Structure 1
Amino acid sequence: MFTDLPEAELRQHRSDLCEPSDFDAFWADTLAEARSCGDPVAATPVSTPLAGVDVFDVTFPGFAGQPVRAWLRVPRGAPGPLPTVVQYVGYGGGRGHPLENLLWSAAGFAHLQMDTRGQGSGWSRGDTPDVAAAGPQAPGMATRGVDDPRRYYYRRFLTDAVRAVDAVVDLPGVDPGRVAVLGHSQGGAAALAAAALAPRVRAAVAHVPFLCDIPRAVTLTDSAPYREIRDYLAVHRDREEQVRRTLSYVDGVAFARRATVPARFSVALMDEIVPPSTVYAAYHDYRGEKELTVWRFNGHEAGGIDDDAAAVDFFLAALG
């Protein structure tokens, strides 16, 4: 069933997100610190049975210089340098197996699939720990360090997402002038942040992005990951204000207000995990050229392979 406002009202919905006054300084300082430390980017060839794709095991410095893993897949023998897609993974997943997710390299792109720190055991394996200390939290990642924006999990994750764009330009086969970002759900949140914060990004695709218009989302759905925030506040009743403040630093609506590259969004009107109005909120506030595909009879899977096919066309047009 439909899970949110009627479609006509969704087309008019705007977020009332109140950004912190130091939002831009917060992210500028965070990224400056990350860029000042860490080992160089490393890419090691991986032996696979693939006849048409070369795979590299990549390690790059993420938040605070901490090592983050990724797979780089490059079409074998393609004349380079190539248009490049940096992909971020949905909640609970990691970079997976080197033989998975071959669409982008098969379509002629260099493809970096970033691992997700501390995740990768829900449905797709990962190899990157989240080494930061955190206080009390609800089960899952959405409230890890949520009492303090500087200790919050998603500060680290979104910094990793930006640093993946920084790192990819030094990798084999990559055209540094043609880099795009892509993600679904949690990955869509990362794509919006990277579109706003990473100067090398030339286009973005955010399918049913998580972490948008968060205060509204928490009151509309009973599903995780937003449910984790509600569960935390149900116990820590006196911390609502500070939790809201922390979340405002990672809200996709704030990133959308700062992003200017061409972007493609998708939204699913029967999505019980990411409320449709929260996607519309980010889409409406997005500053760059944009398009939105509405899937009326789908849930959080959104358009599935149809979204993927449209994303390929979108990036071919945007990157050449």
Structure 2
Amino acid sequence: MPLTFDMPFDELLTYQGSTPRPDDFDEYWARGLTELADLPADVEITPAEFQTPFARCSHLWFTGTGGARVHAKLLAPVTPTGPAVLQFHGYTGDSGDWVDKLSYVAAGYTVAALDVRGQAGPSTQENAVAGWSMATYLLRGIDDRPDNMLYRHLFLDTARLARIVLDLDDVDPARVGATGYSQGGGLTIACAALEPRIKLAAPVYPFLSDYRRAWELDLEKAPYDEITAYFRSRDPMHLREQELFTRMGYVDVQHLAPRIQAKTVMTVSLNDRVCPPSTQFAAYNKLTCDKSYRLYPDFAHERLPGTDDAIYALLSTL
């Protein structure tokens, strides 16, 4: 195995991350899940303009924590067979076109693709935050109370979407999987951690893991330049650096990974300078479920040949 730019491969296999885990991490997420359960979902499903003879395409809306109305594309087969797939998109993106989900629907799968609030899709972002919010998304809410950090809301959105899909009449709750690239990979981990009924998880080079390590490597400006911008404006001498990264630890998926019960297959690219391999393995090494990884030694944060086919084949076992 070739050396990575990050650390030797054998060290990747044992690396445990550097972003602190807050002492009250478990209580934090227990409180979040209780808040979600107490909040009416107000689900609304309406037909989409795009339709096919074998798929019912709909807009799904629900209310998330903080009052946001969150959107997902929902595609249901005319002849359902029970399984379902949750899809999560990359940073600043959206749920994509209807047509790229039809291969699953043609096989009898229900598909739900989330539009992350505040990014390119139609979901709204209602949660106002105190303190730092200039030119940032990753750190939105960092100076507010921890329960109002944006990624806490986003992680809970994934759990709410999963619960809505699990409760659909044509979905077998024992046959639901989740997948996504980059931010979508991180949200896949969060979803499977917060909704233990997920059976299969297929994250691809997941973002949202081990923020401190990624920031210290200083390999790509975005999105970790948001952290640098915060220090320059709010803590130029880094007197609160440990405090900042401990707070980010609440929404670091490496700390959620041990909760996952789903079979998990993670795809990792060793030349990834956006989500460095050490940050990906920080999450992988904390998984205690049935797990394996797919490795692309010479690839970066880019298209990984054969990955979509491999995930389709994996999810076809649901």
- Structure 1 length-normalised TM: 0.90
Distance 1:62 1:5, change over 3 A: same
Give the CA RMSD over aligned residues. 2.0
Q: Is the 8 A contact 2:184 2:206 kept in 1?
A: yes
Mean CA deviation greater in 252-261 or 111-120: 252-261
What pairs up with 1:63-142 in 2 under 5 angstroms?
63-64=65-66, 66-76=68-78, 78-80=79-81, 82-120=82-120, 126-134=121-129, 135-142=131-138
| Secondary structure at the counterpart of residue 108 of structure 2 | coil
Question: What is aligned with 1:9?
Answer: 11
Distance 1:250 1:39, change over 3 A: closer
Question: What is aligned with 1:241?
Answer: 242
- Take 1:174 and 1:112, find their aligned partners in 2: how far apart are those partners? 12
| Secondary structure at the counterpart of residue 193 of structure 2 | helix
What's the CA shift for 1:140?
3.5
Distance 1:205 1:69, change over 3 A: same
| Secondary structure at the counterpart of residue 165 of structure 1 | helix
Q: Is the 8 A contact 2:89 2:115 kept in 1?
A: yes
Q: What is the one-letter code of the residue matched to 2:36?
A: A
Match of 1:191 among 183, 188, 192: 188
Question: What is aligned with 2:225?
Answer: 227
| Secondary structure at the counterpart of residue 175 of structure 2 | strand
Unaligned runs of 5+ in 1: 121-125
Percent identity, aligned pairs only? 34
What's the CA shift for 1:65?
5.3
- Take 1:292 and 1:227, find their aligned partners in 2: how far apart are those partners? 29
- Residue correspondences, number: 310
What's the CA shift for 1:168?
1.0
Match of 1:52 among 51, 54, 57: 54
What's the CA shift for 1:138?
4.7
Match of 1:24 among 23, 26, 42: 26
- Take 1:219 and 1:103, find their aligned partners in 2: how far apart are those partners? 40
Question: What is aligned with 2:168?
Answer: 171
**CA offsets 1:17-72 (integer angstroms, 9 cap, x no match):** 43212111111111211221234322112242523322111112322453211111
Mean CA deviation greater in 247-256 or 169-178: 169-178
**CA offsets 1:146-202 (integer angstroms, 9 cap, x no match):** 124222110111110111111112335322221111111111111111111113211
Distance 1:27 1:64, change over 3 A: same
What's the CA shift for 1:302?
5.1
Distance 1:177 1:17, change over 3 A: same
Distance 1:302 1:280, change over 3 A: farther
Q: Is the 8 A contact 1:67 1:128 kept in 2?
A: yes
- Structure 2 length-normalised TM: 0.90
| Secondary structure at the counterpart of residue 173 of structure 2 | strand
Question: What is aligned with 1:255?
Answer: 256
